[in-house]
Amino acid sequence: MSRRVARWVIAVVGGLLILLAIIAGGGSRTATLRQLVIETLAERLDSDVQLESFSVDTFPTVHVTGTNLIIRHKGRKDVPPLVSVTAFQLDGGLFGLFSRPRRFRTVSLTGLQINIPPGFKKDGDSEAAPPLTDGTAAIVVDRLEARDAALTLIPKRAGKEPRVFAVHSLTMKPLGRAEKMSFEATLTNPIPKGSIKTKGTFGPWNREDPGATPLGGQYTFDNVVLSTVKGIAGNLTSTGAFAGKLNRIAVKGSTHTPDFRVNVSANPVPLETQFEAVVDGTDGDTYLNTVDAKFLRTALAARGAIVGAEGVKGRTIQLHVKIDQGRIEDVLKLGVKGDNPAMTGALALHADMDLPAGPQDVMDRLQLAGTFQVNDARFTNAEIQKKLSDLSERARGLDPETHATHVASNFDGKFRLANNVLSLREGAFNVPGAWVRVDGTYGLGSEVLQFDGTARMKATLSQAAGGGMKSVMLKVVDPLFKRDGAGAVLPITIRGTRSDPKVGLDFGRVLRRE
């Protein structure tokens, strides 16, 4: 054999030996790296880790793939896995593979599902354990990328449906160090439906209690379709900032809705709000510290909570609402049918609002109870306003034909709204010379009026007649309508509809002298 042939044989055999060594080493690295991935995730997340398949390709660059990764926080099987991934791939260079810690440029996730469980503590624990701060993990990734993922907030309350967000894109960097990670994400909020874009920082991860993990950042909430909440409509946008921990996030922001409307009236009004709230990011419960809202010429302040209910889809809203300087025509435009509100005037209102969770229309679920006061009120219906002015003149014993004025009135009382019906108690209505007290109901949908009350006048019934034979004849019945030596006291009824009210005398109560 010539020396040249010998060299070729040695080269081929050597190459085969090197190839066998690479193959054998690759298999060894696969097993080692697989175990390292499992141990790193288990230690950093304090979780049990399952991994179905795992492979390593080192040529021309390092390419690691795996399927069906399941991570259960503290091994819990009473809730869905903390993280599940259908498939993933790690990409990097050879130097990163052999470095300590192992370093990869990117990890790409397919079928990512994140389930944030409700926080819990071990018996005897007074506070949640601090986040992990013991240095860099055995594997570090510069950038995480995920598409078409899902984030589910598991509620604390039994029977309450989880809140699921479709995460269209998510990037985080870096992973594997015990430090804050920056993130950017776009997702869809389920109800009301809209697009959220957010960026900020997250971590370090708290192994003992994921809900205690810090985060902060900014958000925009666009293309919000309020009609996904049955009973209201409009297009909302919101911007703001947030900071805190996952189970207690302080949020400060604003909303803009140029066409907010309640379906019962369908009248659009521009609505602006500024708010400060605390959100439990583990289940979506929101506690509103302050809400300052303005629509048309009315400003209101509110505080309260938006929380889930056991066994019912959706959330219950409980608020205390206060209007100190508002306009009754603005509120009527929002809640009553028609383009022309029945009344104008200055409004003050204090009320407690309860909107239980459920699939029904908002107005069918809405409950309101409180007090109101309307000053300098005038009816927009010219005929009704004329009758009111006539009443004022006659109640003072004046001739309405010579003294008629468009008088203003004041109105106050206690109210309750439930099942689409407005109930009024201790309603007090007064104009110069007359005082009216009424109790009854008004159907917001049907617009049917059903009120009973008493009208007191400064003048007697004969004086209110304005003189002439009619006044003389009414003097006979004046005693029937007098109380306490004052003017006439008339038991009245109000029936009909908002557009066609009928005011009458309750003769039964007159005869009974109630």
pLDDT higher than 60, residue 99: yes
Query: What is the structure's pLDDT at 504?
Result: 75
Residue 484 in any domain: the answer is yes
For residue 79, pLDDT beyond 60:
yes
The pLDDT value recorded for residue 181 is 87
The predicted-structure confidence for 464-502, as pLDDT tens digits, reads as follows: 666 666 665 666 566 666 666 667 777 888 888 877 888
Structural domain contains residue 493: yes
Q: What end-to-end distance do the CA atoms of the chain give, in Å?
A: 135
Q: Which residue has the higher pLDDT, 447 or 309?
A: 447
Number of domains within the chain = 1
Q: Is residue 402 part of a domain?
A: yes
Secondary structure class of 433 (helix, strand, coil)? coil
Q: Highest-confidence range of 28-32, 70-74, 169-173, by mean pLDDT?
A: 169-173
pLDDT of residue 485: 60
Residue 400 has a pLDDT of: 64
Pick the closest to residue 483 from 508, 466, 461, 465 (CA basis). Answer: 461
pLDDT tens profile 242-252: 999 888 889 99
- Reading phi first (left if > 0) and then psi (alpha if -120 to 50, else beta), residue 102 is in beta
Q: What is the mean pLDDT of the chain?
A: 79
pLDDT digits (tens, 9 = 90+) for 353-372: 898 887 787 778 888 899 99
Tokens of 503: 């005011």
Q: Is residue 283 part of a domain?
A: no
Separation CA 285–CA 153 (nearest Å): 10
Distance CA 464, CA 254 (A): 55
Instruction: For 198-217, write each residue's pLDDT tens digit.
Output: 999 988 877 777 778 899 99
| Confidence band, pLDDT 50/70/90 cuts, at residue 437 | confident
Residue 495 domain flag: yes
Partners of residue 302 on adjacent β-strands: 291, 321
d(Cα 267, Cα 258) in Å, to the nearest integer? 12
- Tallying the residues shown for the chain, one arrives at 514
The CA distance from 378 to 75, in Å, is 68
Residue 461 included in any domain:
yes
Q: Is residue 446 part of a domain?
A: yes
Does residue 118 have a pLDDT over 50?
yes
- Residues 191-200, mean pLDDT to the nearest whole number: 91
Domain membership of residue 504 (yes or no) is yes
CA atoms of 136 and 175, how far apart (whole Å): 9
The pLDDT value recorded for residue 12 is: 44
Which pLDDT score is estimated for 484? 63
* Region for 509 from its dihedrals, namely left if φ exceeds 0, alpha if ψ lies in -120 to 50, beta otherwise: alpha
**Higher-scoring residue by pLDDT: 140, 505:** 140
Backbone angles phi, psi at 405, to 5 degrees: -135, 160
3 state SS of 226: helix
Q: Which range (27-36, 130-139, 219-228, 338-347) has the least confidence?
A: 130-139
DSSP letter at 117 equals P
Residue 424 belongs to domain spanning = 381-512
Q: Which of 138-147, 389-398, 402-411, 418-427 has the lowest mean pLDDT?
A: 402-411
> Does the pLDDT value for residue 238 go beyond 90?
yes
The number of angstroms, rounded, from the C-alpha of 212 to the middle of its chain's C-alpha atoms is 23
pLDDT at 360: 80
| pLDDT at 62 (0 to 100) | 82
Residue 156 in tokens: 């604390």
Tens of pLDDT, residues 285-340: 889 899 999 999 999 999 998 887 666 677 788 889 999 989 999 988 887 877 78
Q: Region 111-118: what's the mean pLDDT?
A: 84
Average pLDDT over residues 119-124: 47
> HEC profile for 161-224?
CCEEEEEEEEEEECECCCCCEEEEEEEEECCCEEEEEEEEEECCCCCCCHHHCEEEEEEEEEEE
Query: Is residue 278 within 8 Å of 303, Cβ to Cβ?
Result: no
Per-residue confidence (pLDDT) for residue 473, from 0 to 100: 65
Q: What is the DSSP letter of 130?
A: P
Percent of residues, the chain, with pLDDT higher than 70: 79
Give dist(CA 142, CA 160) in Å, integer.
38
Whether the model pTM is above 0.85: no
pLDDT category of residue 123 using cuts at 50, 70 and 90: very low
Position 227 confidence tier, pLDDT thresholds 50, 70, 90: confident
